[in-house]
Structure 1
């Protein structure tokens, strides 16, 4: 029988976890670093990492996965730089055309546009001031309260096993260092890495920005809801207001995400919940 929302994650589930996805058609023997570097599919490397039992083999696979993510990130940054150069050239070209038009007697139109721009800037500034003022006042926004975690005799052990599971699944991901259920999740990158581990085709992890907290939270939660049927138990606005999220809320969400993965067959165990 599947565990209900208030039952937590049984410790036996983590102890008896065997696999997450069906093995790919890759050789069962140990691959060397050159063969691993030739693999350009994150999902294949993740499956190999799950199957590997030899320490040196796991180390090589993790290194190959990190290199692959780095290559993808560098490629996207290069493409972004090229697009920015094109946009700058277009802007310079338009600016030159505008100056030529002004020299032909369009100075008055330029002054009218400048006056309109000043009015719009003032209006935008006033609106921004009002918005930031309301955000700075906690009393103007309702606080989100997370449902308390049900106390159980073995909750401490289950919590640690769940934390270890999260750490193991996100180990190859750059910028992720899960040490707790609070500060380690504050920028949203850890959520994205955990979701990406099971749904590598859902988004490009290598281009994520740790400073874009709101985008990271929304991306992780919406992807988990769409692909794993995991309800969005965490409120993004509340997470943005807090320097560190409430560990009970994060813990509860990760429990639910794990349960949904088991239900989807993405995490397989010897014993059912």
Structure 2
């Protein structure tokens, strides 16, 4: 009796184990979706992006700092972007991608630099100036930017497991700011924070590619970091309340991208 019960339990366990294995783990007999998609020399698509843009500021030790206190601060903003994807297959594990797009954002810079009145008599870094009482409008600069973002990325990906595969990418960007005001004769004395038009950055990205019956969906996280200083200095006669307080201002952005190919 005991032996019969034990045999039944063993057989049942073997049967259930085999059924479980057949249903969940035997992916080798399943047909993958878009099996030949990644073998194409060229492929195309588009992407949508949710962005967080900010400035990384390096402050001037005299005009931008009061002891250990920063006199200039930034406020990041959330925005969106969209673009196109062009991919060239290099081999089984490497692709070259060109992903031109538009990124829209508005950032704030707050100048608490009234204490720079102490340098009104002039220093080696600035000529004498007449102090002015900074209003709330003088202290806040809203910097609107529209970047034509053109990243060239080298992508490396792992082997495909059924209908997904991980990837990482890195490369360089050319970013043209369509709202730079770099050639404006007016500056912060007139309420205009000027930035450069043509810029360069580097980008790194990671994510997972998912294959569906009609398209490939890729969610990923991207970081973009400006290489050059984007700030255009105020005119020589402008008091050191604004750009004189900043040594460099470089964009840094973090994006969640959704790619459709």
TM > 0.5 fold call = no
Larger Rg: 2
TM-score for both structures, normalised by structure 1: 0.22
Structure number with the bigger relative contact order (C-alpha 8 A, sep ≥ 6) is 1
Which structure features the higher share of strand residues? 2
